[in-house]
Amino acid sequence: MNNTQVILKSRPKGMVTLENFEVRTGEAPTPGEGQLLVKNLFLSVDPYMRGRMNAARTYAANFEVGEVVPGRTVGRVIASRNPGFAEGDTVLTGLGWENYSLSAERGLRRLPDDAEHLSAYLGVLGMPGFTGYYGLLEIGRPRPGETVYVSGAAGAVGSVVGQIAKLAGCRVVGSAGSDEKVAHLLELGFDGAFNYRAAGSLRKAVRSACPDGIDIYFDNVGGETLEAALATMNTYGRIVACGAISRYNDAELRPGPNNMFLVIARRLKIQGFIISDHEAHRSAFEADMTRWLAEGKVRYRETVTEGVENAPKAFLQLFTGNKIGKQIVRVG
Amino acid sequence: MNNTQVILKSRPKGMVTLENFEVRTGEAPTPGEGQLLVKNLFLSVDPYMRGRMNAARTYAANFEVGEVVPGRTVGRVIASRNPGFAEGDTVLTGLGWENYSLSAERGLRRLPDDAEHLSAYLGVLGMPGFTGYYGLLEIGRPRPGETVYVSGAAGAVGSVVGQIAKLAGCRVVGSAGSDEKVAHLLELGFDGAFNYRAAGSLRKAVRSACPDGIDIYFDNVGGETLEAALATMNTYGRIVACGAISRYNDAELRPGPNNMFLVIARRLKIQGFIISDHEAHRSAFEADMTRWLAEGKVRYRETVTEGVENAPKAFLQLFTGNKIGKQIVRVG
């Protein structure tokens, strides 16, 4: 069995490129005592991975140069020497960008036998969905009638945030980087949406899309978008600091918002979080999200790239904006 | 009776100067039906007043050009045509920078007959003390053993924050703008203190004064100090956004911290507040602070400037740093 693997060849300086990766092909490994062999079906590429490609420490251990890029996958157990898992089990893993992975029991989670949409466990039912759910509900704490603005709204996290905010009775505005994405947001039920690339003044675009001001800003983007949102925040507003995709590929630190004084003047709260700290909330999330999906109250879209060797290309699309919803790689 | 009044002559452009004020002398007014005449004993000058001298709206109505500068005072009722107050009552007011003020009942508060240190109601027992108390305890939520860093630490708010943080079992570090202030902080029981003007690299100074990182940063200063504190924050740290005195005299907006990504990576909370929103906590504050003062657990210092005509000079000292503790004006 041939095993195609994507290796982190070098740490990106500034914008990540295809040259930072190398594709290798070798033999699939054989499980030793206590191990199992997983055939990966779907790989996840996520923006947070960019930070882990740097040498500087962020909130988690960094990826190693010369090693397979680690990441979430959905896979099937095809050989097991571990009593905890049997051949044929479908599992959610943190293994990485390759066809076949050896694994111990740790870090694997068995998915339901009747799971219909396996890739959803990498998106709406997985880490990104949980991130949007927790961040909006526990940090943002939406109240009916409030205005929620979410940037990166057509992404895996943003699209969940907007739809849950609608369920919570809020007016929801999203921004994204193409007219096609904007159309998708309106189709998902967003009350307002704009293409920030065509907006001219970002401040004016935010203000005009949120005429009653913003009560909750769910920030996936950082940078100028955060500054523009700050300018439109209402008194007692909450900023859920979830991501800063506009800055992940910066080679140098750039200045922050020039209107931080508004944090005091308008009594704002800015709070950052990392979803892995909040496992205690996961079962509530899964119960709610499973129900919402079944009832058609939350919908999701995926952009699927074929072949593990194309994982770097899929990863780059997170930053160039050529994808809608959750970016997935289907392993050949 | 001669009444000396300080008028806001013009709105400051950038740094406030003595030329922005005018001193006038006229006749003390006579109370009409329902009114009373207050002889001011002490005036308060506070950093927040700088923002209210601008034309742009902050969180409160702005001061009017051509009018007496409004501000907190402690005064004595010398004539009353209002049944709510009697001649001889000592009152806390929001009247302003003049010898004699006419007032209705609204906005006045009678002080205890046995109040020993009247000026303390403008400082440690008043708005600044309450600000430090509420911000540290309710937003910062200190736990024993944590490190609290407070900037502007020798000021009316900062010195209270540091002493309460010590009572809460924290390690407390303060920064201020002179060696004399640093000595004062150590005398108040701060565990560490440094003169930011002599520090060279602010980041290194903060890091070296807080070797275990910062759990709570109580920000009175903003700007580069906020950026330096962010760099040293521990995971789950809280930033109490109370003031930004380094920016109040800016004519133009300046960039914010270049390390806002740490808000996510370290799961930080930055929260702004205005103490006037939290009247419900005032009685608890007054009970605690009165006890702490009686027990010698909180001490305070005042810098007293003589004469209402010198209120502008006293106000300017807030920004030049030539004062320790609460800046007070004693009315002649």
Q: pLDDT digits over B181-239, tens only?
A: 999 999 999 999 999 999 999 999 999 999 999 999 999 999 999 999 999 999 999 99
Tally of CB atoms within 10 A around B152: 30
B36-95 residues touching A, CB cutoff 8 A? 51, 58-59
pLDDT, residue A58, reads 57
Residue the block writes with tokens 């005449």: B37
**Contact check, Cβ <8 Å, B255/A255:** yes
Whether B9 and B21 have beta carbons less than 8 Å apart is answered as yes
Give the three-class secondary structure for B123. coil
**Contact check, Cβ <8 Å, A267/B258:** no
Instruction: Considering only the beta carbons, identify the residue of A58, A253, A263 that sits closest to B270.
Output: A263
Position with higher pLDDT, A125 vs B61: A125
**Contact check, Cβ <8 Å, A256/B255:** yes
Of all residues in chain B, the one with the smallest CA distance to A234 is B59
Position with higher pLDDT, A115 vs B64: B64
Rounded-to-10 torsion of CA A235, A236, A239, A240: -160
pLDDT, residue A55, reads 84
Q: Does A141 touch chain B if contact means CB atoms closer than 8 Å?
A: no
| pLDDT level of residue B154 (50, 70, 90 thresholds) | very high
Q: Does B269 touch chain A if contact means CB atoms closer than 8 Å?
A: yes
Q: Does A265 touch chain B if contact means CB atoms closer than 8 Å?
A: yes
Interface-testing mutation among B227, B263, B278, with chain A (most A C-beta atoms within 10 A): B263
Q: What's the predicted TM-score (pTM) here?
A: 0.95
**Contact check, Cβ <8 Å, A263/B272:** yes
Task: Compute the average pLDDT of residues B126-154.
Answer: 98
Tally of CB atoms within 10 A around B107: 11
Give the three-class secondary structure for A83. coil
pLDDT, residue B140, reads 98
The Cα A148–Cα A216 span in angstroms is: 5
The Cα B219–Cα B270 span in angstroms is: 10
Q: Does A266 touch chain B if contact means CB atoms closer than 8 Å?
A: yes
**Contact check, Cβ <8 Å, B264/A242:** yes
Q: Which residues of A touch B254 (CB under 8 A)?
A: 258
pLDDT, residue B57, reads 63
The Cα B160–Cα B45 span in angstroms is: 17
pLDDT, residue A61, reads 72
Mean pLDDT of chain B: 95
Q: Does B241 touch chain A if contact means CB atoms closer than 8 Å?
A: yes
Q: Which residues of A touch B263 (CB under 8 A)?
A: 241, 270-272
- Long-range own/partner contacts, residues B203-206 (CB < 8 A, 24 or more apart): B203/B227, B203/B228, B203/B231, B203/B232, B205/B175, B206/B149, B206/B175, B206/B231, B206/B232
Mean pLDDT of chain A: 95
**Contact check, Cβ <8 Å, B277/A263:** no
Of all residues in chain B, the one with the smallest CA distance to A260 is B256
Q: Does A251 touch chain B if contact means CB atoms closer than 8 Å?
A: no
pLDDT, residue B58, reads 57
Give the three-class secondary structure for A278. helix
A to B CB pairs, distance under 8 Å: 109
Of all residues in chain B, the one with the smallest CA distance to A238 is B271
Residues 6+ apart with CB under 8 A from B234: B147, B212, B213, B214, B215, B266
The Cα B107–Cα A126 span in angstroms is: 55
Q: Which residues of B touch A227 (CB under 8 A)?
A: 256
Q: Give the gap in angstroms from C-alpha A284 to the nearest C-alpha of chain B.
A: 22
Interface-testing mutation among A219, A252, A270, with chain B (most B C-beta atoms within 10 A): A270
The Cα B222–Cα B52 span in angstroms is: 18
The Cα B86–Cα B63 span in angstroms is: 30
| pLDDT level of residue B59 (50, 70, 90 thresholds) | low
**Contact check, Cβ <8 Å, B268/A273:** no
Q: Which residues of B touch A225 (CB under 8 A)?
A: none
Say which range, A310-319, B109-118, B266-275, has the weakest mean pLDDT. B109-118
ipTM field? 0.95
Interface-testing mutation among A263, A268, A274, with chain B (most B C-beta atoms within 10 A): A263
The Cα B332–Cα B145 span in angstroms is: 46
Q: Does A282 touch chain B if contact means CB atoms closer than 8 Å?
A: no
**Contact check, Cβ <8 Å, A272/B256:** no
Q: Which residues of chain A have pLDDT under 50?
A: none
Q: Does B274 touch chain A if contact means CB atoms closer than 8 Å?
A: yes
Q: Does B221 touch chain A if contact means CB atoms closer than 8 Å?
A: no
Of all residues in chain B, the one with the smallest CA distance to A58 is B265
Q: Give the gap in angstroms from C-alpha A87 to the nearest C-alpha of chain B.
A: 38
Whether A38 and A101 have beta carbons less than 8 Å apart is answered as yes
Q: Which residues of B touch A278 (CB under 8 A)?
A: none
| pLDDT level of residue B60 (50, 70, 90 thresholds) | low
Whether A37 and A102 have beta carbons less than 8 Å apart is answered as yes
Residue A171 in tokens: 């007016």
Q: Does A278 touch chain B if contact means CB atoms closer than 8 Å?
A: no
pLDDT, residue B61, reads 72
The Cα B316–Cα B310 span in angstroms is: 10
The Cα B4–Cα B23 span in angstroms is: 7
